[in-house]
Amino acid sequence: MSFAQVFKSAPDADGLKGCYRNDALTSLMQHGCNELLAAQSRAEKIEGQVQPTCARELAELAGKGVKPATALADQFCTKELFDGAYTKAVERCDSVELQKLVVEMNFRAARVNASAQTLGIDLDRLSLSVFGNPAYEHFVRELGGFEQVAQEFAMKVGFDMARHQLPALVKESIDAISPETNRIVGSLRAASRNLEMASVKPD
């Protein structure tokens, strides 16, 4: 089994094929890719357009028929070694995912905050009348975007804590949650409680 064969069995766009995660597999390939990019940067200095990126450079290499050195990845390719390396790669990728979600969540909180300020909405006393009022449509949409990322984060934290042995890293991510984010989560909780109370109809 070569690494490329393992990679081929990774899920396609529909997620149907194989059981390996692309992010973990590509992370295992990192060494080969980085070596290629370093070799390319030594060989040629390309003047960039707006924001040239690693992926563009990788695609250029692919266009030239260059492939990453798979030797390092191939050495994992006995069943036992691969499983161990793959599990570590999943853990590593999950930790980065978690950190990205915190950053995205804090950014969404900044958007919610800016939108609330423009419309004169007090985030500490989120009135239910905001929802369903066309004047506050933008704000409600921002709040929805925030909620989505916050839920993804909560799921990921739960998953990571149950599965991995990285308490220090999970804690660092939780500590990075901004006061703004906490404030919005708090006001959403209060609003949801009010909504529950309002929806309880007397017999």
Partner 1 sequence: VKIEAFVFYRVRGRNGDKVVLALRDSVDASLRFFDHMTAGLEESAVANPDDVLLTLGTAETFWQDAFASAVLNVLLEAHISLDALESVALVDLMRRREVSVANPDAIKSLAQMFVELRKELIKNRAAFWRALTE
Which residues contact partner 1 (rule: CB under 8 A)? 4-5, 7-8, 22-23, 26-27, 29-30, 33-34, 41, 45-48, 50-56, 58-59, 61-63, 65, 67-68, 88, 91-93, 95-96, 99-100, 102-104, 106-107, 109-111, 114-115, 118, 138, 141-142, 145, 166, 169, 172, 176, 178-181
Phi, psi dihedral angles at 56 (to 5 degrees): -65, -40
**Nearest distance from residue 156's CB to partner 1, in Å?**
14
d(Cα 140, Cα 36) in Å, to the nearest integer?
Answer: 46
**Nearest distance from residue 200's CB to partner 1, in Å?**
35
Q: Which is nearer to partner 1, 102 or 150 (CB)?
A: 102
**Nearest distance from residue 48's CB to partner 1, in Å?**
3
Query: Which amino acid makes up residue 128?
Result: L
Instruction: Tally Cβ neighbours within 10 Å of residue 27.
Output: 19
**Nearest distance from residue 95's CB to partner 1, in Å?**
4
Q: Which is nearer to partner 1, 15 or 193 (CB)?
A: 15
Q: Chain-centre distance of CA 24, in angstroms?
A: 13
Pick the closest to residue 186 from 87, 33, 161, 178 (CA basis): 178
Q: Check: CB of residue 92 under 8 Å from CB of residue 169.
A: no
**Nearest distance from residue 58's CB to partner 1, in Å?**
4
Q: Which is nearer to partner 1, 19 or 197 (CB)?
A: 19
Pick the closest to residue 86 from 24, 29, 2 (CA basis): 24
